[in-house]
Chain A
Amino acid sequence: MKKCMTVLALAALAAGCTTPTTRIDVRNDRGPEVAGIDYRNVQEAARELLSSLNRSGRLDRADGGVYVLTVGKVKNDTMQRFDTDTLTSYITEELMNDNKVMVTSAMAAGEDNRDEMVNAARSVRGNAEFNQATVAKTGQLVAPTHSLFGKIIQREIRMDNGDKQIEYYFQLRLTELATGLQWWQKQHFIGKRTDANTPTW
């Protein structure tokens, strides 16, 4: 009985020491800076890259039409494991909302950005179970006119006082696929300094 009480008391103490889970107030986040890349850094990079692309006027078409965009490879060259779609989806979402581009799901560098159903819908050609008038015909897929690709780079530098300086470079480029010419590019830098023992992964 005594042992049981002790265990219960210890459990209660341990529970009291844990940090309760709270929701991040994304509009007024007072959380301290972290050494790694967090959502605030991704949003900042997206804001700067998107603003630069919009300011360039490269995706403005005189005839009011839209370009077809595919998301190429965005390399995560950092020590952290995260999906670079967290960055590119901000950009493609806003470009589509602005009617500047249509994003193709038929062709993309990342498997996750391709919709398997595009091919699956075509695999039923000639299948008597499907009304063939409703099956996608050949020659209907629209090829992309432009590709968005880039890289996120991390550099770590030891400072004279032993602390660590972490440099993040967010790079994006826009290629016209017909010519291979690069229509736009932008690099956004975020730098942090922290204790030498602070991990970034």
Chain B
Amino acid sequence: MKSLQRLFSIAVLAALVTGCVSYHTPPIDRRVTVAPDLGTLVWVTDVRLAKGVSSHYTMQANVVNNTDDIVSMEYRVDWLDASGAVIPSVVSTWQHMSAAAREVLPLQATAPSSDAVDFRFYVQSSRW
């Protein structure tokens, strides 16, 4: 009975330890696409969408540089209306940015139209 108790304790401890192990995996958000050329160099985390004082949505996301070097990238935000169609706009053009080593870079973009209800966030390596 005592050995069974010990075995049970070990099993409980093992389960606890397994539960505490953190796997270094990128977060998944269907609104975010990180181009394969960036691999796991950067992650996009903490994606939010809110209106604030305006009738236009503003999205915010953190771009995390996982490397010890500066990473040059470009990002674009496409805004979608209620039917899922992209709203064409000058705000939806590629924009250059760079993140310092291990930097967490917060980015914001505001919808060009009050009709925008959703967005898609794209990140790719810089072409320059």
Chain A interface residues (CB < 8 Å from chain B):
27-28, 30, 32-33, 43-44, 46-47, 50-52, 54-57, 60, 90, 94, 97-100
Q: How many residues of B contact A (CB 8 A)?
A: 21
Interface centre among A28, A50, A94, A98 (most CB of B within 10 A): A98
Q: Is the CB of B58 within 8 A of A55?
A: yes
Chain B interface residues (CB < 8 Å from chain A):
52-56, 58, 89-91, 93-95, 109-115, 127-128
Q: How many A-B residue pairs have CB under 8 A?
A: 59
Q: How far is the CA of A43 from the CA of B111 in the complex (A)?
A: 15
Q: How far is the CA of A46 from the CA of B92 in the complex (A)?
A: 11
Give chain B residues whose Cβ lies under 8 Å from the Cβ of A90.
90
B103 CB to nearest chain A CB (Å): 20
Give chain B residues whose Cβ lies under 8 Å from the Cβ of A30.
127-128
| A55 partner, pick from B56, B95, B115, B127, beta carbons under 8 A | B56
Q: Is the CB of A94 within 8 A of B89?
A: yes
Q: Is the CB of B90 within 8 A of A43?
A: yes
Q: Is the CB of A56 within 8 A of B53?
A: yes
Q: Is the CB of B90 within 8 A of A60?
A: no
